[in-house]
Amino acid sequence: PLKVMPVPAASLKLNTNEEIDEVYSRLTATFQSGATRSLAYRRKQLLQLARMLQDNHVAFEDALLADLNKPRLETTVSEVAHLITSTLNAAENLESWAAPDPCPTQEVWRSSWGATLYKEPKGVVLIISPWNYPLVLTVNPLIGAIAAGCPTVLKPSELVPTFCELFSRLIPKYLDPNAYAVIKGGVPETTHALALRWDHIFYTGNSRVGRIVATAAGKNLTPVTLELGGKSAAVVADDCDDLDLVAKRILYGKIQNSGQLCVAPDYALVPRAKVAAFVDSLKKAHDEFWPEGDHPLTGSQPISNIIHPTHHAHLVDLLNRTKGMIVFGGEIHKDKSIAPTILTDVPVDDVLMDEEIFGPFLPILAVDDIDDAIRVINSKPIPLVIYLFTTQDDLKHKFLLETRSGQLVVNDTIMQLCAHEMPFGGQGESGYGMWFGKTTFDVFTHRRGCITVPFSDEPFFQGRYRPYTEDKYKA
Ligand code: NAD
């Protein structure tokens, strides 16, 4: 098995601009040669990718443990295992995904034109991914790019240096190095890469950088997918009686990767009369997750690290400035992690409500009724997801009609990520463009319309030619 040594951020060997240009030229030449087009080639690369994941799952666990203190089981379950399934699923369905789509026409005489959409690779593409789920957010889009026949440059986050080193060693070992390459870089290297003319850019990360990526892409008219974040609300409706279960599901969603997950429930909207009981239920769930004698910061199964001392300091600053009341949690492991923290009496205009928290805090806002909850959600930019807890089907429809979000999930958190074939994506501030399963193949595919107009159709066309005379239109 591969030995993974932790790589300190300062030791990550970044690519030079010349190396980035060389990679770009190499992959462009490969695309132009047509080498990535055949389905047999794409299938082979997908199977190799699955093999890479399978052979090295322990190495990936080691890397994410070193970079994020991510529990091994979380890496296996949320990063490696379903990627293997998704890769094999793409290999298995490749033929049907890539098959041309006939476009039936209404008029009988046009049916002979054989209107068809052919699926063609867009070209050389760039995938830029963040640190929080570094493997899944790099490889999942890659699966679609390989399946579509696109040579791909991968730019993982420099904030997970051990992962970056490992990934950049493995990709050329398993995949065709003339078609798939990893760039190691931070802001300057990514800025250089963004100035090149890509055929698609797939970016996952925060909205501020999303704007930078979209602006750079705009200069070359490059299509972009932006997978961003936002303030995803969890709404507890008045009819929820089993608050223990609701709290357990919300807390589970909040503590994954210490709240550093794009679809983490950011804050909770709870009927005023139920807040105290909901807090009790959260405490109960917390004590189930970390039983007597165990502790999220120092126990046998500690919570993941906060990625960076700067983000840690930002979260501590939020705790210092909030007008809310910490009802439990709040313990801080200097520069490393923070215990799951529940706050009540949080006003709508509190610092915790300004931006996506991306940390293990759950502010609870008391609301008068469901319309009040909807008003709070609609006063914010469109979130990636709304989690609604209710037993009433009507409420789901009310939310579908009266709110906007990337997804609406009823009665659980995060599980939309397990609906692999349901296209996933944000709206407004939470991004644009959809992906997952076949939809990721579609992201990197140009659907090229093609018709063949028979010469024998000439009698139908007499009216289109000059001179435009009355008798032609009468006919
Ligand atoms: P990050 O800091 O790792 O940045 C993401 C990528 O952008 C990295 O590869 C980084 O090198 C690059 N980058 C950073 N600054 C740049 C600049 N000025 N110019 C060009 N490139 C630059 O990760 P992050 O942004 O902190 O990631 C967390 C955010 O991502 C959260 O907002 C989260 O909600 C969002 N997210 C969204 C999804 C989704 O699927 N919608 C998934 C995960 C994370």
Report which ligand 1 atom has the smallest distance to the Cα of 426.
Answer: 41
Would the CB of 227 count as within 6 Å of ligand 1?
yes
* Averaged pLDDT, 239-266: 97
Phi-psi region of 150 (alpha: psi -120 to 50; beta: other; left: phi over 0): beta
Q: What is the pLDDT of residue 475?
A: 58
Instruction: Record the pTM.
Output: 0.95
- 150 pLDDT band, cuts 50/70/90, is very high
Average pLDDT over the chain, rounded to an integer: 95
* Averaged pLDDT, 170-191: 98
Would the CB of 435 count as within 6 Å of ligand 1?
no
Of 266, 265, 282, the residue nearest 327 (C-alpha): 282
Q: Burial, 470: exposed, middle or buried (Cβ in 10 Å; 0-12, 13-18, 19+)?
A: exposed
* Averaged pLDDT, 289-302: 88
- 332 pLDDT band, cuts 50/70/90, is very high
Report which ligand 1 atom has the smallest distance to the Cα of 229.
Answer: 34
Record the tokens describing residue 182, joined without a space.
């990893």
Q: Whose CA is nearest to atom 17 of ligand 1?
A: 187
For residue 313, how far is its CA from the centre of ligand 1 (angstroms)? 18
Q: Which of 157, 160, 310 to mutate to test the pocket of ligand 1 (most atoms within 8 A of CB)?
A: 157
Would the CB of 126 count as within 6 Å of ligand 1?
no
Query: In this model, does residue 202 exceed pLDDT 90?
Result: yes
Q: Whose CA is nearest to atom 31 of ligand 1?
A: 206
227 is catalytic: yes
**26-30, 41-45, 74-78, 281-285: least confidently modelled range:** 74-78
> In this predicted model, what pLDDT tens digit does every residue of 401-434 receive, in sequence order?
999 999 999 999 999 999 988 999 999 999 999 9
Question: Which H or E element spans position 388?
Answer: strand 385-389
Q: Which of 79, 160, 182, 262 to mutate to test the pocket of ligand 1 (most atoms within 8 A of CB)?
A: 262
Would the CB of 191 count as within 6 Å of ligand 1?
yes
Q: What is the pLDDT of residue 119?
A: 98
> In this predicted model, what pLDDT tens digit does every residue of 345-400 receive, in sequence order?
999 999 999 999 999 999 999 999 999 999 999 999 999 999 999 999 999 999 99
For residue 266, how far is its CA from the centre of ligand 1 (angstroms)? 17
In this structure, is the dihedral angle defined by the CA atoms of residues 123, 124, 130 and 132, taken in order, positive or negative?
Answer: positive
* Averaged pLDDT, 240-245: 96
CB-based contact 437:420 (threshold 8 Å): yes
Percentage, residues of the chain above pLDDT 70: 100
Q: What is the pLDDT of residue 460?
A: 87
Would the CB of 229 count as within 6 Å of ligand 1?
yes
From the list 150, 164, 240, 262, the catalytic residue is: 262
Q: Whose CA is nearest to atom 2 of ligand 1?
A: 130
DSSP conformation class of 381:
P
Phi-psi region of 205 (alpha: psi -120 to 50; beta: other; left: phi over 0): left
* Averaged pLDDT, 329-336: 90
CB-based contact 225:445 (threshold 8 Å): no
Would the CB of 160 count as within 6 Å of ligand 1?
no
Taking the C-alpha atoms of residue 42 and residue 93, their distance in angstroms, rounded to an integer, is 12
Count CB-CB contacts under 10 A for residue 397. Answer: 10
Taking the C-alpha atoms of residue 168 and residue 204, their distance in angstroms, rounded to an integer, is 19
CB-based contact 376:393 (threshold 8 Å): no
CB-based contact 409:386 (threshold 8 Å): yes
User: ipTM of the predicted structure?
Assistant: 0.96
From the list 61, 165, 189, 227, the catalytic residue is: 227
Q: Whose CA is nearest to atom 5 of ligand 1?
A: 130
Would the CB of 209 count as within 6 Å of ligand 1?
yes
> In this predicted model, what pLDDT tens digit does every residue of 57-102 receive, in sequence order?
999 999 999 999 999 998 998 889 999 999 999 999 999 999 999 9
Q: Which of 182, 190, 201, 261 to mutate to test the pocket of ligand 1 (most atoms within 8 A of CB)?
A: 190
